[in-house]
Structure 1
């Protein structure tokens, strides 16, 4: 007797998942990551503390000892940020880990980076409003 109930419960849960977001959902779409710009360094470039639900970063501690987050990434394509260049600013993006595009920071004379390595990622679709796509009517 429990099987028909279980079937209907799972069907209702699935329907709620598919039909629960009538307009744009507030959460970023899958593949979209959100975070906050926490610092700019010479060696590592812009640092973003990524939201905890996306475990793609590492603890970020600047050379000065200042902790800037627990899930920090470094932005390889620093020119791609455009006008998104303020500490404390929320950003949303997609990313790839492409070692061929990673900058090694050798031109920095001072050790101005993080104490331990953080992932260096190439960002795209950078925005302050999320990576949401409109749903078809």
Structure 2
């Protein structure tokens, strides 16, 4: 039966589909493809975390950031929907590092890697550090 060309073709197509689906899932948890506009939302420089009270992954990201000692400006959908809409946030959790002018330095949708969190926190500390 494994020698049947139709079975081989179906198996190959199934494997290819699985690879494509997994690649898209992984890509969905990387840096956010669409830019958001924090200037329009009037948010300060530093670290901003967009969340929802219904989001389990939001709590995970909140804990990851709390462990760094840096407190992000958290924008919760249920409390500040207009701010999230002005910023153009389409998914949560969304973690963003913003410079003093409101330009985005880094952003990530989903649960970021610890390496990304370390890099983002370092960038946020540079942004929020007092000038010499």
TM-score between both structures, scaled by the size of structure 2: 0.32
More strand by share: 1
More helix by share: 2
